[in-house]
Amino acid sequence: MAKTDVKVLGAWPSPFVMRPRIALNLKSVEYEFLEETFGSKSPLLLQSNPVYKKIPVLIHQDKPICESLIIVQYVDEVWASGPSLLPSDPYDQALARFWAAYIDDKQWFPSVRGIALPQGEEGKAELMVQVFEGLALLEDAFDKCSQGKAFFGGDKIGYVDIALGSFLGWLKATEKMNNVKLLDETKNPNLVGWAERFCSHDAVREVMPETDKLVEFAKMLRARFKAPAS
Amino acid sequence: MAEEVKLFGLWGSPFSRRVEIALKIKGVKYEYIEDDLQNKSALLLKYNPVHKKVPVLLHNGKPIAESLVLLEYIDETWEGNPNLPPDPYERAQARFWAKFIDEKCLPALWKALFGEESEQEKAMEEALQNLKMLEKELKDKRLFGGGGGGGGGGGEESIGLVDIAANFIAYWVGIIQEAVGAEILNRERFPVLYKWIDELLSCSVIRENLPPRDKMLAYFISRVQAAKASK
C-alpha cells in the first residue's frame, strides 16, 4: 500500500498520538506523520474530526478514524496479517478492553497530569493517592493478562501495553518535575520491568518522547496557561 | 460442560438493560440476578472489584464488567445477529458513536437534568449540541444499525451497537424529563431522533427489555423529592 494511503495527524508530546503510531509500527505499516502546530488546529484536523477536533486522527484511503484506542483496533483489524494486537480468545479480549477502558476512562492519567500542574500540597497528595491506587490495580492486572510473559499482551506488545505504555513518557516527566517516584520497584515490580521492556521495544522507541523534552514542554505549557492561585 | 451464563443487573439501569438486549438478540439463555443497591452483594464485589457496579456477566464462572465491553464480548462469543458490522471502518464508526454516547451525551444529559442549577444551563447547551450530532449521524437511516444479518429487513437484525448504547436516550430521558419537569428532547427539536426512538421501541426485543415506565417514573420522582428535601 502506498505510503500516502495512511496518514496520522498528531503531535509529538501526546500520549494518545503515540498509540496509533506504535500500532502501525508493530504491523510494519508505513505512514505519513502530519504534525499539528501547537496552539492551532489545521483545516484537515477540523474536517477529519468535527466532533472532538482532537488528535490523533488516522486517515486511511481518505477516510478518517478518530479516538486513539478505536484507531488501534481499526489498525488491528485492517492489517490482520500482521501480529495481532488484541487477543483472539473472546474472554482475554474482553479483559484487554476492560483494562484499556479503565486506563482511559477513570481518574488515572488525569491524576498523573494533575500532579504536574501547580497546586497546593494537599491537592497533590490526593492525586498521588489516586495514582498509586491505579498502579496497584494495574500491577495486579499485569499478572492476570501477561500470564507470566513479558507484556500485558503476552510474548508481544498488545492492546493494553499500548494503552498504558503511551503514558510512560509523561509519568517519567511528572516524576522528574516533582521529584517523586510514582513507579517503584518495591511497590510495582511487574510494572517497572514491563516499562523498561516496553520503552526499549523497536516499535516504541522512536515515537516515545524524551523525558527532558516533555519536561521542557510542560514548563512552556505552565508559563503559557498560568494556573490561578489555589 | 453445559454453558452457564449469569447476569448481575439492576432493573432500572440502562447499562444493565443493554446487556440483556444483546443477549436476547442472540438468543442466549441466562440467569438474571437482581443486585441489591443498598447492600452491594458480596458476589458483585467479588466479580467486579475494580468498579463494584453492574452489569457483570459471569460466563462459565468467568466475570466480565463494563457494558460496552460486554456488548463486544457477546458479539465475539455467540454467533448470529451480530451487533457490529464486519467492515473495519464501519466498526470503527460504531465504536466511535457508542463512546460518544457514553462519554459525552449521557453525562451532559444527566447534568442537564439533575445537576446543580448553576451547571444546568451549560449542560443543557452541551446536551443539545450532542443530540444534534447524533441526529446528523442518523441522517435518513431508520436505525443507527450496522447489525449484520441482512440490510433493511428491520427488526432485530438491524439493531446495532449504537442503537443499544443509545437506549438511555430512547427511553430514560423521556421519563426523567417528566419527573424533573424539564424538556431537552422533544419531537419539534429532534424529528429525526424521534423517528429513531419510535423505530427502536417498535422492536419487540427492545420493548420487552425495558423497565416498566410507571415504576421508572415513580423512582425518578422520588429521587427528585429526596434531592429537594435535602436542600
User: Looking at the complex, does the CB of residue B223 fall below 8 Å from at least one CB of chain A?
Assistant: no
User: Looking at the complex, does the CB of residue B141 fall below 8 Å from at least one CB of chain A?
Assistant: no
Residue of A nearest to B132 (CA): A51
Q: What is the mean pLDDT of residues A113-123?
A: 73
| Chain B: closest CA distance from residue A210 (Å) | 31
The proportion of chain B whose per-residue pLDDT surpasses 90, expressed as a percent, equals 77
Residue of A nearest to B51 (CA): A102
Contacting residues of A for B69, CB less than 8 Å apart: 94, 97-98, 101
Predicted TM-score (pTM) of the model is 0.94
For A9-28, write each residue's pLDDT tens digit: 999 999 999 999 999 999 99
Residues 6 or more apart from A225 whose CB is under 8 A from it?
Answer: none
Contact A155, A85 (CB under 8 A): no
Q: What is the mean pLDDT of residues B217-224?
A: 94
Question: In the predicted model, is pLDDT for residue A68 greater than 70?
Answer: yes
H-helix segments, chain B: 14-26, 42-47, 67-77, 88-100, 106-114, 117-138, 161-165, 167, 173-180, 191-202, 204-207, 213-229
Does the beta-carbon distance from B88 to A95 stay under 8 Å? no
Which of B95, B96, B132, B137 best probes binding to A when mutated, by most A CB atoms within 10 angstroms? B96
Q: What is the mean pLDDT of residues A173-190?
A: 92
Mean pLDDT of chain B: 91
Residue A34 to residue A6: CA distance in whole angstroms: 11
Rounded CA Rg of chain B:
18
User: Looking at the complex, does the CB of residue B73 fall below 8 Å from at least one CB of chain A?
Assistant: yes
For B50-104, write each residue's pLDDT tens digit: 998 999 999 999 999 999 999 999 999 999 899 999 999 999 999 999 999 999 9
In the prediction, which pLDDT does A125 show?
84
Residue A5 to residue A3: CA distance in whole angstroms: 5
**Residue found under cell 511497590:** A187
Whether ipTM tops 0.90, in short, is yes
Residues belonging to chain A with any Cβ–Cβ distance to chain B shorter than 8 Å = 51, 60, 63, 65-67, 70-71, 73-74, 77-78, 90-91, 93-95, 97-98, 101-102, 105, 137
Question: In the predicted model, is pLDDT for residue A82 greater than 50?
Answer: yes
Give the pLDDT band (50/70/90) at residue B150: very low
A/B interface, count of CB pairs below 8 Å: 58
Does the beta-carbon distance from A71 to B59 stay under 8 Å? no
